[in-house]
């Protein structure tokens, strides 16, 4: 398992938040950089904190399949909302 400092040093973006202390913050930054939406780091950090990691990873995997998408962030958010709806339907049954 890598240390947080190693993970941060591997991915280089000048506007990245500098004080990442917890794992969900690092994962939120990873989401933002994977989706090329570095203007919204705080949104992805919040998603990583509040939502199930499995849902986020599944939505990210789905989004990475769209190579020519104009906005991968929109596709990610759409897929995440679909997965949340499916999860609530399963729990209500």
Question: What residue ranges do the domains of the chain occupy?
Answer: 4-92
Structure-token pair, residue 12: 């280089």
Neighbours of 35 (CB within 10 A): 22
Report pLDDT digits (tens) over 67-87: 888 999 999 999 999 999 998
Report pLDDT digits (tens) over 3-46: 877 776 666 665 666 678 889 998 998 999 899 898 999 999 99
Closest among 33, 62, 61, 29 to 48, alpha carbons compared: 29
- Provide the sign of the torsion angle of the four alpha carbons 21, 26, 29, 31, taken in this order: negative
Q: What is the pTM of this model?
A: 0.78
């Amino acid at each position: 398992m890598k240390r947080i400092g190693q993970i941060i040093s591997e991915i280089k973006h000048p506007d990245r938040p500098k004080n990442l202390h917890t794992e969900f913050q690092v994962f939120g930054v990873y989401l933002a950089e994977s989706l090329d939406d570095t203007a919204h780091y705080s949104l992805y950090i919040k998603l990583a904190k509040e939502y199930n990691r499995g849902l986020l990873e599944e939505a990210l995997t789905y989004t990475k399949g769209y190579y020519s998408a104009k906005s991968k962030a929109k596709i990610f958010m759409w897929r995440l909302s679909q997965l949340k709806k499916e999860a609530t339907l399963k729990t209500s049954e």
